[in-house]
Structure formats: C-alpha cells, structure tokens
Structure 1
Amino acid sequence: MSLHELTAAQQIEALRAKEISSRELTAHYLARVERHSGLGAFVTINENALDEAARADERLAGGDRAALLGLPLGIKDLAATAGIRTTLGSAALADRVPQEDSWTAGLLRRAGAVVLGKTNTSEFGATCYTENDVTPSPAVTPYAPTRYSSGSSGGAATAVAAGLLPVAHASDGAGSIRTPAATCHLVGMKPSRGLVSPAPATSFLLASTEGPIARTVEDAALLLDVMASPAPGDLYGWRNEGSFASALTLRRRLKVAMWTDSGTDEDTDPQAELAVRRTAEVLTALGHDVREIPLPWRWDRHMRRAVTHWFAYQVADVVRNTVAPPRIPLLRPYTRHLLATNETLNVQSVVAGQATLARYASAFLAAVDDYDVVLTPTSNGPPVPIGHYTGDEADLMLKWSCYTPWANLAGVPAISLPSHVDGDGLPHGVHLVGRARGDAELLALAAQLESAALWDELHPPSWHQ
C-alpha cells in the first residue's frame, strides 16, 4: 500500500507508532505534487516543508503527541501563512509574503502540521471555479481533468482527491468547501458560525468560515477539532463540548426535510435529483423520518441583487486593504466588474441588501424549524467544463451552486458527502444541513451514512499514478 492510500487518521497513528517518519511522508507527497502539477492544485510549495517534517520527527521521537504532529497539510491561499507566499489568488499580490499566520493557520501549525504548500483558489475567493492569473492552469477535478473542481477551495479538493494531501484546510462563503468536495467525491464540512474563528472580525454579516476537506468523515472531524478554537474577542465564538472525532456515533432518530427545487429558472439536473433520492432511501432505511417540503424562498430578483451587492462590497473591501492602486489593472475582469458594481452602491443599498439576505436566511430557518437536518443536492449538476463561465458569470454560477448559500447566511453547519459517480465518470454530491451549533450531530449522521455505504471509495486515475 502506498503512503497516500492511508487516511489522515491512519497516518497520524503510524507517525506516533514510528512506523513511518514525517520526512518520508512529506517527501512522498511532494513527489506526487510535482508529478501531478497539471491538475492545478497548488499555488505555492513550501520550500521548508522537509525541514518542518524533520523537526516534527524530532518531536515525535521525544513522545510529543500534538494532534497533527508530522502530518502534511495544505492551507488555502486565502489564509495568511508566515513566511510562505499568500496571493489570495491574485496576480496583483503575486509576491506577497505575510509576516504572521492567520488565526486558523496558526492553530494548524501549532498542532504540528507540516505545511506542504498553499492550495489554489479563485481571486479573493469570489467565484465557484478556481482559475486565476497566478497559476498556469485552473484547479480541475482529477476525475475529469477538463472540468473545474469548483471553487473557491478547488485546489484543496483537487489535492485530496488526487492523493497529493491526506486532508486540507479550506474556506466557504457561499459553498466554497462543499461544491469542490462534490466535484471531487469528497467530504467537505462548513461549520456553524463562530466555531472556527475568522479573527479579526470585519463584518456583522459573517457568512464565510473555514473548515476541512477530506476523504473520510473521521479525517474531517480530526481537522475540525484543531480548527475549532475561537480567538479572544471573537464576536460569535463558541466551543464544542468534547472532540468531534470521538463523537461520531449518532444516538437518535432524526427528522429530515428535503427538496430538490433549485429556486432558479434552471431545472434540477437528473443526477442531482438522483443524489438526493438515493440518500433519502438510505436515511429511511436507517430509521430516520424523511419528508419532502417546498423550497422556502426562490432566487428572485431582490435576492439576486442582494447577493451581487454583498459580494461586490466584500471584494472591494479586500482590494482596498491589500492591493496598491497601480496594481488594480492586474485584477481579473470579474473582480473589476465587482469593483465597478460596488462603486454604484451607497450606504442605503448596502444596508437594504443585508436586510434582504437576513430575511432570506430567516425564511429558511423558519421553514425547517421542526426538522433536525435538511437534505438537498450540493450542486445542480456535475463539474462544469473549463471555460463554462463566459457571459453572465454571476447568473451561471448561481444556477449551478444554488443550493448552498442559505446555510452560510443562516450560520448553520452543512456538509457535502459523496453520492455517486455517473456513467460519464463524473462525481455528484449530496448536501446535509444541521441545526445551529449542531455540528457534532451532523458529523455523526455523515459517519452513519458513510458506514451504510452511501458512497464507494472510487479514486480517479491520478490516484494510482
């Protein structure tokens, strides 16, 4: 068995038992990253990775049992890493090397992870596909390398699916963990608001959060255990009681709401429908009560406008704080479009847009108040071909990724699980959303579905190369 075939949990166990060394494991992954560079998984490789691994081996030899000690890990290129280039997916920041880690990157490093490098992302995380002007190729799903692995955590999903990382750090503002996981036949967890700290907070409308992308539910829970530590002063911070990885047994029957309606003028893709129906059958067989309900709110023109203004305002804020004016021309066309949209906004339109988003989130929460979990597709169809997003990018992205944003706005936990690989070899995911701060129960349900063989561990060709 090759080293990358071990799960992250198995690798940690083997490191502690001194059956493998961190340096050996890191070298294995570095060689695989170089071999499969055409998949677009990484922006930057950490030139000190082997030295970090050697130091981890010294700590392991001394009996140190830090949670991730010696485990190779990728950190999404939106998160600052001290001494390692962090471009935010933008050519305007191609030479940016932070002096300090972000809060979550610091937690992962202090837990002993060896940072292999920075995984690919879209410019400022603004699109649901991972293509930028920093890397020579977009992040693609290893199952079909002519198709995007979604975004903005596309590089993280590509790396884990292709066996270039055992598990990966990612982030999610409207689906950016979950849709990449779906395109790559992986587990992707968006935690509840405040479980993983965004420190320092920059907005009361906190929709984006960091979380894990992994091959197994246990691996996702292991990484989340380290990430779930709020920073001092966090406006929404809270702590889970106990370990997620130690609580993966579901102890009660759940009431599950489901829908497949996209809420757009796009019909539901037949494979997305299949993903939900087959998952509902498994849930029912496991004893859960599954009921189909109407979609609480459609993507009407008010909601579309509010989301566009929200993204425009967020991206403009990042650009103001990171990009020098002479480098603005280096930004991608869609980013410049969002900046131009932001220029049309005033305080009243920003506040009105946020009120619309709040009403939208509240409508969903009210509609599912009697349920423990919601079941939908993760995306409205398979991974899309490179070049798909031409013309009205916002409209095309919404039609494909229409199922995930409500969980961000509502602040509730959500997870994408593999469903099936279709006759064309394309992966499809299923989306489960839990109650606020019900992350442990949602992970336990995911583990139950994994044990019930909801999906097969079917690897892409690059896994074996």
Structure 2
Amino acid sequence: MTEPHELSAAEQLRALRSGEISSLELTRHYLTRIGELDGALGAFVTVTPELAIGEAARADRLLARGDRSPLLGLPLGIKDLNATAGIRTTSGSAALDDHVPAQDAWTVGLLRRAGAVVVGKTNVPEFGVTCFTENNVTGRPAVTPYDPSRYSSGSSGGAATAVAAGMLPVAHGSDGAGSGRTPAATCHLVAVKPSRGLVSLAPVTSFFSPGIETPIARTVPDAALLLDVMAQPWPGDLHGWHPGQSFADTIRRSPSGGLRIAMWTETGMDGIDPHPEAVRAAERAANLLRELGHDVQEIPIPARYTEPVRRAIVLWFEVRTAAMVPALVPPGRQDLLMPYTRYLLAAGRTRSGTDVELGQAALAQYASTFLDALAGFDVALTPTTNGPAVPIGHYLSDGVEQVPDRMLAWSCHTPWANFTGAPAVALPSHQDSGGLPVGVQLVGRPRHDGPLLALAAQLERAGLWADAHPPCWHQ
C-alpha cells in the first residue's frame, strides 16, 4: 500500500482536491514521521503540531467548499531564517531562541495565503553563514538521510533533509551562494535558484542581493508548483519582475530546438582538483543532453577564484554578519553566538567602506566575466558540488580561520550564479559506490527561468536520475 509521503506533492494536492485524503490525515502523517525520524536527522528547529492541525482542519473546510488555492492543505516547512508570524524564528542562533515575529516575511505570507499548512521551521546554520547546518539551538546538525554521519550541507540543510526523508513533500529554502542547491545535491533532490528579483526577499532590500528564496523538492514539477506561488514580487522590490507565465505549464513542453550548452568541471581553485564523482555527474548529464539533440561544448571555466575574488567573498560574509548581528542580537546575548559567527563579526567590524567598495568591484568583475564568456550559450552545465556530502566536523577541523576555504573547495561551483543573478537548478545525477547522492547544476540566462526549468524537466523525463530514497524512507 502506498504511503502518503511516497506521492509527489502534485499527487498529494490532487488527492486532497478529490477527497481521497484529508489535510488532517496528511498533516498527521507528516507530524508522525517528524516525531519518529527527526531526532536522528536534525531537520527541524521548531515543530508546530497544534498550529498545523488547526490549519489542516481549516484547509479541509475550504476544500469541501471547492476552494482550489494552489497549496491548500499541503504540509510545508519554512526555513528558520525567514520570519513567521506567531512561530519562533531563531535564525539558527541560541541568542534568538525565544524570538517570535509579529509578521510573516513576504514569501512566507504568499505560501501561507496559498493554503500551505506550516508544520514547523527547518534547521539552519547560525544566520545562514555556512554551507553546513549546525547550531546551538538544536544541538544537532542536519544530516543527509543517506548517511547520518555526513552533513546535508546548508544553509537549507534542514529543508533538504526533511524532504529527502519523507518528513515534508516540499520545502521552502533559500540560496545565498549555493545554499539551496548544495543541500539538494547531498539529498538526491531538485532545488531551483530563481533569477534575481523573481522571488522577493522583502522586508530585506539591497542594491546587491545574491541571495534569494528557493523551492526544494523531489521532482521538477513539484519545484515548479512551489515556485509559481513564490514568484510574486513585492511591489517595492528593487529587482522585482514577473515571468508572465506559469512554470508548471512551461515545463510540460520540451525546449524547442537544440540548445547551446557550455560545460566545465574545473573548480576554479588552485590546488583543488575536480572530484571524480563530480566529473562523472557532469559527463552523464552532458551525454544525455547530446542524445536529446543539444549541443554541449566543454570550455575552460570562465573565471577563477583569484585571491581578490576569494577575499571579496569572505568579506561579503564578514560585513553582512557585522551589519546583521548587532541589529538582531542585544550586546548582552552576543556571548551565545557560535565561534565562527564571532570570528566573522570581529573581522567585519574592522572593514572600511573602501574595503567594501573594492570587494563589490571584484565580485562584479568576476560575475561579468561569466556573463561575457557565456553570451553565446543558452545554458551552462557543471557539477553542483565538488564531491558527495562531507563528514560531520569536516569544516571546523582546522579552526575557524580555515572554514571559508574548506567550504569553497566543496561548494565552488555554485556562487557565480548568485553573483550574476542568473537562474540555476540543481538536479540529482547518481549515487556513488557508498550510496551517497551526487548532483549536477544547470545555469540559464538571467530572467530565462522558464526555458531553464523546461530543460531540467526534459532531463527528468529522459531518466537522468533514478527514483532513489534513503533507508528511513520506508519506516
């Protein structure tokens, strides 16, 4: 007998609308799985059973009246970096462990108004500053269900863990330098990083905004379903735009004609070679794309992580932390911050306006080099990560000063898409000999999210990856 979590999100919504299952039944099913599995996996910071049961009961009443809101009755987790009215939002920090916002963030409000049933807040690193999910709020890291001794990456690690383990059908995440795509890669999932401005970060506004909120799902259609709700820009968004189309409809059509696709597997870092499994993932995707009629050309990586670029990336995190922490954390509670956060905070306080301006210029030049080199291509293909998930403790094994370089060596393929503002989608590829997932990344032209998702859906239909699940899936 098929269990509810074995259905795709789209199938669950159809079952809700036909009356085959109620939102109460579905929500209780997921809450039970969270209770049974999450202690070992670290997917959630906060679980809200009473709220979820109330929202599910309301959804059932609306469904009975014929309401067809896009996500009505579907359980959902919200990343704990994003404000949720009436639900604890810690940003992964013990210094904010009792913070309960009065209002939803913009995208959270869209998801809730679309009828999603919020079952809890998913686990994040403190203020989202690392590509591994560990904090002092939960006391346990978010791990990949395929091997609980390894991180599920970050900062959307909890979201990916929850979807992969069957604790959520889909999840809300975000991606600042790959932090939605790299967790998807460790968990055999799909994650979409939209073009800059398609999904609003309100109430946050910035002239330079590499981060954006993302859907995390098991299939491309499920990710498109969530993205259609999220892609409604806040009216005051400086970069906001609307696609004028439904992504769920777009992906039903294969790309017209053969696309020109650039591919590379180089890391861009001196002394860091491509991991064999990362190369294998990119080559598998390239071969399938050629079979589908696309022109795939291997090219040198357009820009490397020179020392000025590497320093600029670290500077961005330092300055962001130095601006954010004092605004959120009272001085008397800053001793509760994690060592790496304190390291970034101290460094950020020493940076000058000139440092920031020069760092922004270096990142702009880095991004422009990619856009220029890819002007003759429709899509770029790379691995998502430089190898499978890494063991717990990997990044801090040489102290906080080495964390940035250790993170970049593994997540080197994703940041450039954030700095260019281009859309990107992470897709599963295969599992290595130890059963660990490995993924690939497609990056499209800025504001060409629809064609990119159509290509991703074409690869899914063509069998780029097998339908695989971790052992806990069957519990």
Would you say same fold, with TM above 0.5? Answer: yes
Q: Which of residues 96, 100, 108 is equivalent to 2:99? A: 96
Contact between 1:201 and 1:235, CA under 8 Å: does it hold in 2? no
Is 1:371 aligned to residue 377 of structure 2? yes
SS where residue 48 of structure 1 aligns? helix
- Tell me the residue number matched to 2:468: 458
Q: Deviations over 1:163-211 (max 9, x none)?
A: 0000000000000000000000000100000000011343211100001
Is 1:41 aligned to residue 43 of structure 2? yes
Q: Deviations over 1:221-262 (max 9, x none)?
A: 000000000101110100011210011112231100000000
CA distance in 1, matches of 2:362, 2:166: 42
Q: Which of residues 143, 146, 158 is equivalent to 2:146? A: 143
Comparing 190-199 and 318-327, the one that deviates more: 318-327
- Tell me the residue number matched to 1:175: 178
Contact between 1:78 and 1:86, CA under 8 Å: does it hold in 2? yes
Letter of the aligned partner of 1:401 in structure 2? S
Q: Which of residues 294, 300, 320 is equivalent to 2:326? A: 320
CA distance in 1, matches of 2:159, 2:321: 21
Contact between 1:418 and 1:430, CA under 8 Å: does it hold in 2? yes
Written as runs of structure 1 = structure 2, the 5 A alignment for 1:117-266 is 117-248=120-251, 249=253, 250-264=255-269, 265-266=271-272
CA distance in 2, matches of 1:44, 1:268: 37
Q: Deviations over 1:401-446 (max 9, x none)?
A: 0000000000000010000001111100001000001111111000
C-alpha deviation, 1:301, in angstroms: 0.8
SS where residue 67 of structure 2 aligns? coil
SS where residue 32 of structure 1 aligns? helix
Contact between 1:73 and 1:169, CA under 8 Å: does it hold in 2? yes
- Tell me the residue number matched to 1:77: 80
CA distance in 2, matches of 1:237, 1:201: 13
- Tell me the residue number matched to 2:413: 403
Q: Mind listing any 5+ residue stretches in structure 2 that lack a counterpart? A: none
C-alpha deviation, 1:156, in angstroms: 0.3
C-alpha deviation, 1:359, in angstroms: 0.3
Written as runs of structure 1 = structure 2, the 5 A alignment for 1:105-116 is 105-116=108-119
Q: Deviations over 1:274-313 (max 9, x none)?
A: 0001100000000000001111111111011101110111
Letter of the aligned partner of 1:313 in structure 2? V
Letter of the aligned partner of 2:76 in structure 1? L
- Tell me the residue number matched to 1:8: 9
- Tell me the residue number matched to 1:427: 437
Letter of the aligned partner of 1:352 in structure 2? L
Contact between 2:220 and 2:453, CA under 8 Å: does it hold in 1? yes
Is 1:56 aligned to residue 66 of structure 2? no
- Tell me the residue number matched to 1:351: 357
Is 1:278 aligned to residue 284 of structure 2? yes
TM-score (norm 1): 0.99
The number of residues matched between the two structures is 465
Contact between 2:105 and 2:203, CA under 8 Å: does it hold in 1? no
CA distance in 2, matches of 1:339, 1:164: 35
- Tell me the residue number matched to 2:459: 449
Letter of the aligned partner of 1:149 in structure 2? S
CA distance in 2, matches of 1:439, 1:24: 35
C-alpha deviation, 1:320, in angstroms: 1.9
CA distance in 2, matches of 1:421, 1:16: 35
- Tell me the residue number matched to 1:19: 20
- Tell me the residue number matched to 1:301: 307
CA distance in 2, matches of 1:238, 1:202: 14
Percent identity, aligned pairs only? 64
CA distance in 2, matches of 1:206, 1:274: 32
CA distance in 1, matches of 2:118, 2:256: 36
CA distance in 2, matches of 1:122, 1:136: 11
- Provide the aligned C-alpha RMSD in A: 0.7
Contact between 2:322 and 2:346, CA under 8 Å: does it hold in 1? no
CA distance in 2, matches of 1:388, 1:296: 29
Q: Deviations over 1:329-381 (max 9, x none)?
A: 10000001101111120000001100100000000000000000000010001
TM-score (norm 2): 0.97
Contact between 2:206 and 2:238, CA under 8 Å: does it hold in 1? no
Q: Which of residues 437, 443, 446 is equivalent to 1:436? A: 446
Q: Which of residues 324, 334, 340 is equivalent to 1:334? A: 340
SS where residue 120 of structure 2 aligns? strand
Q: Which of residues 286, 290, 295 is equivalent to 1:289? A: 295
Q: Mind listing any 5+ residue stretches in structure 1 that lack a counterpart? A: none
